[in-house]
Each structure stands twice: as structure tokens, then as C-alpha cells.
Structure 1
Amino acid sequence: MGRDWKHLADSVEAAREAKNLTQVALAEKAGVSESTIQNIESGKERTRVPASLHKVERALGWKPGSGERVLEGGAPEVEEATAPPPSGLPLRIVHELQDGPLLDATVLDLSPLGSDARMIVVVKGAPGASPEQIRADLLAWAKAQEHIQNLPNTDDQGKTPN
């Protein structure tokens, strides 16, 4: 049996509407473009499964592989309910915070750059990452953190003071 793109389109649209999300809101939550959601919901036949389908699955609360199951005529598997996301955060950030293991977090004081603001950096690993991959991710974060901390202090015009 071939892939049922119309079944996928109907399932994504129904799940989106059940969550009271617009196409724009789902796109933001999934970290994809609105046209990606429109294309999936169009039901148009394709030769390949879109690479972004797994992002849409997560944003809808489906278990990984549910999009493929729907394409084969089945139903999506829904993830168990989790704690409500922190309020006031953009949907894309909420989604990213729910995905993968927390590896590290830090708060960067921006006052040396002339601001009273703070930057909060959260480092998340890939879902199902191996211990070796987590170690590699932490080493990459350590290098990035060192680079961030060594950025030159600049004034409002982007010039380094004398």
C-alpha cells in the first residue's frame, strides 16, 4: 500500500485544531515555516517524507515515527501529558526546553556591554543521545562558552572603547 498523504494532512490538521493552534502557531512551535505546515496539510502526494515531519510530530505531542504510521494508514501515538510549560515564553522556546536532556545552563550578565539585561543560555542534548555524543556536546558548549565570555566589550555603535 502507498503512502496516504491525505490521511496525514487530515490527521495533522485535526491534531492542530484540537490544540487550538493556527498554522502559524504550529509552525512557530515546531520551528518550521508556515508554508511547511500548509504543504503538509495540503495532502499533496510526495516522493519523500519531509525532513521537518519529525518536528511537527513533536509539536503536536505525537511520539516519534507517528507521521510515518499515519502515512501507512495508522493513527499517531500521542505522548503522555507533561507538566505545563513555563508561562510567558515563546512557543519555540517551550518546545525546545521539552526536547532532549538538559546538559547545562548559565546566566550571562550583560552589564559589561552597557545593558542591565541578562542572557540565559540552556544547552540541550539530542533526544536519545549516547553518552559519547553528550560528552562531545558538552565539549562544544565549553568552547562556545569560552568564546562568548571573551567577546570584546563594545559601545552602542559597536566600537571597542580605548
Structure 2
Amino acid sequence: MSRDWDRLARAVEEARNAKGLTQVGLAEAAGISESTVQNLESGDEKKRIPSTLPKVEQALGWAPGSGLAVLAGGEPTAIDSPVAADDMTGKLPLRIVQALGDGLLLDTKILDLEDDSGARMIVVVKGKQNATPEEIQRALLAWERTEAQLRSGGDAAAAG
């Protein structure tokens, strides 16, 4: 599977600009060198995933694994409010707290239910902690199929 380094470069640059950061500012926020940011934003193909990518994700407010998702053709997942998530852990069943802590965060989705109640479904998609880019791509494709089934009311599942 090929990785789309140009896509990642554009996503990092757009997110950096949206936060009002220069390359130096992002480097400082991530605790990495400016040349590392420049290299990442160059879009040049790399033989391996940079070890600094998780630091860049965190500095940009992306969930862990977002950079890999972008490389595989997906979108980064923004972390809305880490404090709010921490506050919720005491209110969730232990099995849910444990599942949220295990593995690599691949995506999240809030789906409005189609009724007048205003109810919503919150989906958290997790993958294996040390997943390869290929495994992440397969997991994201499986999630896309499942999301389509959820949105269609399960018709695709019944038909398949």
C-alpha cells in the first residue's frame, strides 16, 4: 500500500495554519526541530513513519493515529476536549473506560438518531495498538462500511 505523503503534508500545514502557528511554533509545541516540521510539510516520500508524528499529532490537537489515517487516505480526528473526556471516565462503566484506553484511536463519530428525541449515538473506533498502516487502512475501510450500514438503518447489513 502506498502512503500519501503530500496529503499528510497538506493536512499538517492546514492544521498548523488554522491554529495560527508558524513552523517554528509547531516545532516548539511538539518539542521537535523546525527542520523536522519542514521535512514533514515537504511531502517528500519517506521509507518509514517518522517517530515524531505522534508529537505533531498532539501539538495539532489530533487524536493518536490521525497522521497514519491521513497517510492512508482518511482524515485526522480532532480531540475536542481532553478534559471533558477525563471527567467522563468516572461516569462510564469500567468495561467502556478500559476499551477506550486500549488500542489506537482511529476515528470518532457522533450520529444524530432520526427521531424527535434529540438522542445521539457516539461511536469510538479503535484499532490494534501497534497496527501497521495496512492494518489501519483495512480497519478504516471496515469502519466506513459499518458507518454506511448505521446511516442506512441497517439495510445494507440485511441485504448483505
**TM-score normalised over the length of structure 1:** 0.50
Q: Which amino acid aligns with 1:13?
A: E
Q: Which amino acid aligns with 2:49?
A: V
1:80 offset after TM fit, Å?
Answer: 1.2
1:63 corresponds to 2:90: no
Structure 1 portions without partners, runs of 5+: 84-127, 129-162
RMSD of aligned alpha carbons = 1.6
2:82 and 2:46 map into 1 onto residues whose CA distance is: 33
1:123-144 deviation line (CA, Å, top 9, x unaligned)? xxxxx6xxxxxxxxxxxxxxxx
1:46 and 1:12 map into 2 onto residues whose CA distance is: 16
* 2:78 counterpart residue number: 78
Percent identical: 61
2:30 and 2:66 map into 1 onto residues whose CA distance is: 15
2:34 and 2:47 map into 1 onto residues whose CA distance is: 21
2:29 and 2:15 map into 1 onto residues whose CA distance is: 14
Point out the structure with the larger helix share.
Answer: 2
1:28-49 deviation line (CA, Å, top 9, x unaligned)? 0000000000000000001100
1:74 and 1:59 map into 2 onto residues whose CA distance is: 19
1:7 corresponds to 2:19: no
**TM-score normalised over the length of structure 2:** 0.51
Larger radius of gyration: 1
2:81 and 2:18 map into 1 onto residues whose CA distance is: 14
* 2:26 counterpart residue number: 26
2:81 and 2:11 map into 1 onto residues whose CA distance is: 19
Matches within 5 A, 1:95-134: none
SS at match of 2:70: helix
* 2:54 counterpart residue number: 54
